[in-house]
Structure 1
Amino acid sequence: MNFWQTYRCIILTNYSYTWGMGSVGQLGHCSLQSGDKELLPRRVVSLDGICINEVACGGVHTCAVTAKGALYAWGGGQAGQLGVGPLNGFFSCKLNESEMMLRNIPVLVVPDGVQLVACGHSHTLISAKDGRIHGWGYNCYGQAANEKSTYAWYPSPVDWCVGAVRKLAGGGGHSAVLTDACSLKELCEFRLAETVNPSNASVVEDVASRTGADALARLCERLREHYYNDDEFGL
Structure 2
Amino acid sequence: MSDLLNKWKIFQELSDELKRNIRLAVVFDGGAIYVTKDDQVFGFGRNEFGFLGTGDKQSRTEHTKIEQLCGQNIQDLEFSSETFFAISATGSVNAWGRNDNGQLGLGTKKDTWIPIKIERNLGTKRVVQVACSDDHTLVLTSDREVFSFGRNNFGQLGLGHKDDQTVPIKLDFPATGGVVTAIACLCYSSIALLDSGELFAWGKNEAGILGQSADVKEQNIPRKVPGLEGITIKRIVCGYSHALALTNDGKVYSWGWNGSGQLGNGTKQRSHEPTLIIGNFGRIRDVAAHYNYTISAAVTEADEVFAWGRFNGMPNLIPKKTSFTSLDEVFAKIPNYCAVTFRPLRLKLDDELIEEKNAANESPEWLKKHFDDVESADVVFVVEGKKIHAHKAILIMRCAVFKTMFLGNWKESNESEQIIEHRSYDVFFAFLKYFYTNQVDLQPDLALELFDLAHFYQMTDLQKECLIIIKRGVTVENAASIYDRAILLAAKELKEFVFKFCMDHLTAVVNTEGFKLLKDDVAKDFFIRAVQQGAFKND
- Which of 212, 221, 241 aligns to 1:146? It is 212
Letter in 2 for 1:155: P
SS state at 2:160 partner: coil
Instruction: Give the SS at the match of 2:206.
Output: coil
| 1:173-192 paired onto structure 2 within 5 Å | 173-181=241-249
| TM-score for the superposition, normalised by structure 2 | 0.29
2:180 counterpart (104, 114, 128): 114
| 1:43 aligns with one of 89, 92, 117 | 117
- Preserved CA contact (<8 Å) 1:9 1:16: yes
Pick from 202, 205, 225: which aligns with 1:158? 225
Q: Distance in 2 between matches of 1:63 and 1:4?
A: 12
Give the C-alpha shift of residue 52 in structure 1.
1.0
Whole-angstrom distance in 2 between the partners of 1:149 and 1:4? 27
- Residue 158 of structure 1 and its aligned partner are, at CA, apart by 0.8
Q: 1:196 maps to what in 2?
A: none
Point out which structure has higher relative CO (alpha carbons under 8 A, 6+ apart).
Answer: 1
- Output the CA distance in 2 between the equivalents of 1:150 and 1:140: 8
| Percent of aligned pairs sharing the same letter | 23
| Unpaired stretches in structure 1, ≥5 consecutive residues | 88-100, 187-235
- Aligned counterpart, 1:92: none
- 2:131 matches 1:56: yes
Letter in 1 for 2:104: L
Q: Deviations over 1:178-205 (max 9, x none)?
A: 22217xxx9xxxxxxxxxxxxxxxxxxx
SS class of match (1:141): helix
Q: Could you give the per-residue CA deviations for residues 178-235 of structure 1, whole angstroms, max 9, x where no partner exists? A: 22217xxx9xxxxxxxxxxxxxxxxxxxxxxxxxxxxxxxxxxxxxxxxxxxxxxxxx
The answer for the alignment partner of 1:22 in structure 2 is: 99
Question: 2:236 and 2:134 mapped to 1: Cα distance?
Answer: 16
Deviation string, structure 1 residues 54-84 (Cα, Å, up to 9, x no partner):
1100130010111111100000000111001
1:10 Cα offset (Å): 2.0
Task: Choose between structure 1 and 2: higher helix proportion.
Answer: 2
Instruction: Tell me if the contact between 1:76 and 1:103 (Cα under 8 Å) persists in the aligned partners.
Output: yes
Report the Cα distance in structure 2 between the residues aligned to 1:14 and 1:133, rounded to whole angstroms.
25
Report which of the two has the higher share of strand: 1
CA shift for structure 1 position 4: 5.9
Do residues 104 (structure 1) and 166 (structure 2) align? Answer: yes
Tell me the distance in 2 between the aligned counterparts of 1:136 and 1:107.
15
Instruction: Give yes or no for the alignment of 1:74 onto 2:149.
Output: yes
Counterpart of 1:10 in structure 2 is 86
| CA drift at 1:86 | 2.6
Alpha-carbon distance between aligned partners in 2 of 1:65 and 1:4, rounded to the nearest angstrom:
17
Root-mean-square deviation (CA), in Å?
A: 2.3
* TM-score of the aligned structures, taking structure 1 as reference length: 0.65
Quick one: distance in 1 between partners of 2:231 and 2:141? 23
* Rounded Cα–Cα distance in structure 2 between residues aligned with 1:8 and 1:163: 34
Q: How many residues align?
A: 167
* Unmatched segments (≥5 aa) in structure 2: 1-27, 30-78, 252-539
Is the Cα contact below 8 Å between 2:196 and 2:232 reproduced in 1? no
Larger Rg: 2
Local SS of the residue matching 2:207: coil
- Looking at structure 2, the residues matched to 145 and 154 of structure 1 have their Cα atoms a distance apart, in angstroms, of 14
